Amino acid sequence: MEPDLSFAALVHADEVFFPTAPEAGVTFHGAPGHASLSASERHNLPDQVSAETPYRDVLIRYALATSIAAPDGEPTLRSHEGD
């Protein structure tokens, strides 16, 4: 099944520096039954970065996709396609 919403990004940086280690995360909220996923691929940047450490020639690919579940009896976005 194709997702209702998808997003992809590619980010490149010559250098990245974090004065403090960031706290990052992805959460999904919605009606029960929705299906979501996200994934990232990093080059020259670890999953847990260290404070005050320069990272050079950084590349990040990120993708997110979700299928929207409507409450029982309510139309979904797809049901309105072509109206």
Which tens digits make up the pLDDT trace of 18-64? 999 888 877 766 666 677 888 999 999 998 999 999 999 999 999 99
Phi, psi dihedral angles at 78 (to 5 degrees): -65, -30
The answer to pTM > 0.85 is no
- pLDDT at position 74: 57
- pLDDT at position 60: 96
- pLDDT at position 80: 46
Q: How confident is the model at residue 83 (pLDDT cuts 50, 70, 90)?
A: very low
Phi-psi domain of 81 (left: phi exceeds 0; alpha: psi -120 through 50; beta: other)? beta
